[in-house]
Amino acid sequence: MTDIEDLIDQLDAEEKQGLEQRFVAPVIAGSKVTVRIAGIVYELSVKGELEPGFYVLQPEDRHSARVVRACKKREAKAYLELFVQARVVLVDQVDDVWFGLQAVGGTQRLTIEGLVPVQLCEGAGRFDQVLARFDGKRLWFEGRDRRRERAVADYLRTSFGEELPADELDRKGLTPQERQAYALAQIRDKERRGQTVEERLREALSHAGGQLASFIEHADRYQVVWNVGGQRYASAIGKDDLTVMVAGICLSGQDRHFDLQSLVGVMREAQGDVLRIGDGGMDVGRYFEIHPEDRPREGGQQQQQQQQQRGRRRGRRGRRR
């Protein structure tokens, strides 16, 4: 037997022995676990549907592994301590995964650029500073960073809930990374709400046969550009309940009797010369200067709802003609 054959036999024996050994690894949906057997790194699929977490696993072959049992805390701790540590400020959560920025005081052995996912964050929230371990592929949550005062994250969460602008944060000791995390969280939240607004406007228009072209968000209204019957309109719509503030054509002061959905039916019935507001017609801001009484006011909610109901009935009657 040659030296090469001896080496092959040795590797086969080591691999067989390695496949009989159990190992600890974190498991998340849709991913494989990595293990080194006989000096060779394997990526194994884990059989069965599992809750994300740490498990003791047993290889079945070179491609898959099965769960032996859930991992004990000390076993998970020992596993994580094998890897380099980083400090991260949590910014935003998408499904079950938190995204964060590298915090001040992070190890120089690891540089994190931009937002990165931190897996298996349990018991942590937005703006918490946490410890994470990098296994070469992913960051795994290790725990809260006890070096950082929890009151800092509490302050940021309260300010975030009150929609305080990032440049108005006023707490001694805030780090540049925490200020950046706060600003990013506001941007992502606004983007998320913007998508919801678009879906809301699109749905209201489509139910009556209209199509959304674009919209601009203002402090008290949406300026909505939409199409129906080959004609384009620009309407100012209240943010709370989509009440019409400026319809896009002159309705003799009856604009507020409609919401966006019922307005579409009225527009489809409009004939003759009309005064267009916005989208090449009179500017919406100019309209409010001429008609200050049309600006939104405090209160009057019940009356507005009654007017909307009357508008919807008019819209339906118009469509039946």
| Statement to judge: residues 41 and 117 lie in one domain | no
Residue 194 lies in a domain: no
| Statement to judge: residues 69 and 87 lie in one domain | no
* Parent domain of 214: 207-320
- Joined together, the tokens standing for residue 277 give 């507001």
- Using the predicted structure, report yes or no on whether residue 164 has a pLDDT greater than 70: yes
| Statement to judge: residues 65 and 137 lie in one domain | no
For the chain, the 3-state helix, strand and coil shares in percent, each to the nearest 5, are: 35, 30, 35
| Statement to judge: residues 128 and 175 lie in one domain | yes
- Joined together, the tokens standing for residue 265 give 């039916």
> CA 42, CA 14: separation in Å to the nearest integer?
14
- Joined together, the tokens standing for residue 93 give 């959560």
- Using the predicted structure, report yes or no on whether residue 9 has a pLDDT greater than 50: yes
- Using the predicted structure, report yes or no on whether residue 278 has a pLDDT greater than 50: no
Mean pLDDT over 113-120 rounds to: 93
> CA 1, CA 16: separation in Å to the nearest integer?
21
| Statement to judge: residues 229 and 180 lie in one domain | no
For the chain, give the number of residues: 321
**Within its chain, how far is the Cα of 214 from the centroid?**
22
Q: How many CB atoms lie within 10 A of CB 52?
A: 15
Amino acid occupying residue 271: Q
The CA-to-CA distance between both ends of the chain, in Å, stands at: 97
Mean pLDDT over 207-235 rounds to: 88
The CATH number of the domain where 55 resides is what? Answer: 2.40.50
> CA 216, CA 224: separation in Å to the nearest integer?
7
Number of domains into which the chain is organized? 3
Mean pLDDT over 82-107 rounds to: 89
Cα angle value 306/268/320 (rounded, 5°): 70
Identity of the highest mean pLDDT range in 193-207, 210-224, 278-292, 296-310: 210-224
Contacts of residue 20, Cβ cutoff 8 Å, sequence gap at least 6: 59
Residue 140 lies in a domain: yes
Residue 201 lies in a domain: no
- Find out whether 118 and 141 touch, Cβ atoms under 8 Å: yes
Specify the residue for token string 């992913």.
138
Range 10-17, long-range pairs (CB < 8 A, 24+ positions): 11/38, 14/38, 14/39, 15/40
Which segments of the chain are extended strands (E)? 23-27, 33-37, 40-46, 53-59, 64-70, 84-94, 97-102, 116-119, 129-134, 139-144, 211-217, 221-228, 231-238, 244-246
> CA 272, CA 251: separation in Å to the nearest integer?
13
| Statement to judge: residues 67 and 87 lie in one domain | no
- Find out whether 214 and 197 touch, Cβ atoms under 8 Å: no
pTM above 0.85, yes or no: no
Give the residue, 74 or 252, on which the prediction is more confident: 74
Residue 173 lies in a domain: yes
Residue 296 lies in a domain: yes
Q: Which of the 8 DSSP states describes residue 321?
A: -
| Statement to judge: residues 259 and 216 lie in one domain | yes
Give me the phi and psi of 166, to 5 degrees please: -60, -35
Q: How many CB atoms lie within 10 A of CB 175?
A: 15
62-to-6, 37, 38, 58 alpha-carbon distances in Å? 22, 9, 12, 11
Residue 190 lies in a domain: no
Q: What's the chain's average pLDDT?
A: 79
> CA 222, CA 289: separation in Å to the nearest integer?
17
| Statement to judge: residues 159 and 107 lie in one domain | yes
Residue 196 lies in a domain: no
| Statement to judge: residues 222 and 292 lie in one domain | yes
Reported as a pLDDT band with limits 50, 70 and 90, residue 315 is very low
Short-list 199, 269, 197, 273, CA closest to 228: 269
Reported as a pLDDT band with limits 50, 70 and 90, residue 190 is confident
Reported as a pLDDT band with limits 50, 70 and 90, residue 8 is low
Reported as a pLDDT band with limits 50, 70 and 90, residue 199 is confident
| Statement to judge: residues 37 and 95 lie in one domain | no
| Statement to judge: residues 269 and 211 lie in one domain | yes
pLDDT of residue 185: 96
Q: What is the pLDDT of residues 34-63, one digit of tens each?
A: 888 767 788 899 988 889 999 999 898 888
Mean pLDDT over 238-248 rounds to: 79
Contacts of residue 131, Cβ cutoff 8 Å, sequence gap at least 6: 85, 86, 87, 88, 141, 142, 143, 144, 145
The percentage of residues in the chain with a pLDDT greater than 70, rounded to a whole number, is: 72
Residue 197 lies in a domain: no
| Statement to judge: residues 61 and 135 lie in one domain | no
Give the residue, 293 or 129, on which the prediction is more confident: 129
